[in-house]
Amino acid sequence: MTTTIIKKEFGKEKHIQYIIEKGKKKDDFEYWAIEQQHMSGVYWGLTALYLLNRIHEVEFQPMISYVLQCQHPNGGFSGNVDHDPHILYTLSAIQVLALLDALDRLDKQKIANYIASLQQPDGSFAGDQWGEIDTRFSYIAISIVTLIGKREAINMQKAVEFIVGCRNFDGSFGCIPGAESHAGQTFCCVGALAIAGALEHVDHDLLGWWLAERQVPCGGLNGRPEKLPDVCYSWWVVSSLSIMHRLHWIDKQKLAHWILECQDEDGGIADRPGDMPDIFHTFFGIAGLSLLGYENIDSIDPAFALPVSLLNKLSIPLPWANNNNNNN
């Protein structure tokens, strides 16, 4: 059966305007619903702009001041002013400062102490002082201490052990031991193990196959068997496959085409074709296209989810990357 594939263009300028202009409009109802995760919104927007080579559309200094305003005495960062610190927004804050070339503004030891304080006896990490445990937080902790050069602050071996304990028989990972395999959690675990230098705990063939099976007939990717595709899995699945050098196990062209179908004609990318765009899916759509090697989008690193050129500048080693990664 042949289908006519209408070649969709990547609306680069429209997306740039979407990210910047949407940010300027204050009369949009949906925004206040995400005010507590503002820091992550900034990270998503800035990274997308960086990949599109337009980060200088934003004024750096006020942004840096804002980020630092969200730091708490214990070293953690909150999602916005007036909020309590949380590991999620601590990573977003560090990522934002890295993008704005301001990592030197950080008291790295303080942050390291904060992260260390969140590690539990079994190697897992809590998100905050209340104790929610999730492999997302393991990824974040390992990523943070590496970005700020304080890996010795945590017990890396125990951290790896906990992550391995969340591996299921299908080779994929859940949020806590026994939880269902999920592509989002899988990115966190594979990314964490990559950064920790412990990828030997991943069965590349078994997991690669599970991830490849996330591709549904229309070309999009889902997060678990029998679920609908969503653009954000263009990141969670594709980054994991990239780290494991098995990206060619999916139909890359079909996926790229599907991501382009998720674009809104006024700018921004939605979770699926026809839905309303948002900053989260806009970032992950662009990041996914970057990993697929789409033209005019800078390379993003699949483990740190930051531009490769930035990580090179920071001299962060990326041993999973190689020149001929995932081609053919």
Cα dihedral 189/131/107/302 (nearest 10): 20
Shortest separation between residue 240's beta carbon and another protein, angstroms: 15
Shortest separation between residue 33's beta carbon and another protein, angstroms: 6
**Nearest Cα to Cα of residue 79 among 110, 37, 112:** 37
Shortest separation between residue 32's beta carbon and another protein, angstroms: 5
* Segment near another protein (CB under 8 A); pick from 103-111, 137-145, 149-157, 209-217: 209-217
* Contact between 270 and another protein per CB under 8 A: no
Residues 280-309 as b or e (16 or more Cβ within 10 Å = b): bbbbbbbbbbbbbeeeebebbbbbbbbbbe
Between residues 9 and 226, which has the closer beta carbon with respect to another protein?
Answer: 226
Residue pair 191/243 in contact (Cβ under 8 Å)? The answer is: yes
Q: Which residues between 294 and 323 bind another protein (CB under 8 A)?
A: none
In angstroms, rounded to a whole number, what is the distance separating the alpha carbons of residues 270 and 264? 7
* Segment near another protein (CB under 8 A); pick from 34-42, 142-150, 268-276, 313-321: 34-42
State how far the alpha carbon of 279 is from the alpha carbons of 28, 132, 149, 239, 274, in Å: 13, 26, 30, 19, 16
* Segment near another protein (CB under 8 A); pick from 109-117, 125-133, 140-148, 187-195: 125-133
From the list 1, 33, 200, 315, which residue makes contact with another protein (rule: CB under 8 A)?
33
Between residues 64 and 318, which has the closer beta carbon with respect to another protein?
Answer: 64
Shortest separation between residue 120's beta carbon and another protein, angstroms: 15
* Contact between 276 and another protein per CB under 8 A: no
* Contact between 229 and another protein per CB under 8 A: no
What would the two tokens of residue 210 be? 């599970």
* Contact between 290 and another protein per CB under 8 A: no
Q: Which residue matches tokens 């201490």? A: 145
In angstroms, rounded to a whole number, what is the distance separating the alpha carbons of residues 107 and 99? 17
DSSP letters, 124-139, are -BBSSTT--B-HHHHH
In angstroms, rounded to a whole number, what is the distance separating the alpha carbons of residues 216 and 207? 17
Shortest separation between residue 316's beta carbon and another protein, angstroms: 24
Shortest separation between residue 228's beta carbon and another protein, angstroms: 10
DSSP letters, 36-92, are GGHHHHHHHHHHHHHHTT-GGGS-HHHHHHHHHHTB-TTS-BBSSTTS-B-HHHHHH
DSSP letters, 263-276, are B-TTS-BBSSTTSP
* Contact between 13 and another protein per CB under 8 A: no
Q: Which residues between 41 and 100 bind another protein (CB under 8 A)?
A: 41-42, 45-46, 49, 58-59, 62-63, 65-66, 69, 78-84, 86
* DSSP structural state of residue 262: T
Kindly list the residues in this chain that would bind another protein in the complex (CB under 8 A): 19-20, 22-29, 31-38, 41-42, 45-46, 49, 58-59, 62-63, 65-66, 69, 78-84, 86, 128, 130, 132, 168-170, 174-176, 178-182, 205, 208-209, 212-213, 215, 224-227, 246, 248-251, 254, 279, 328
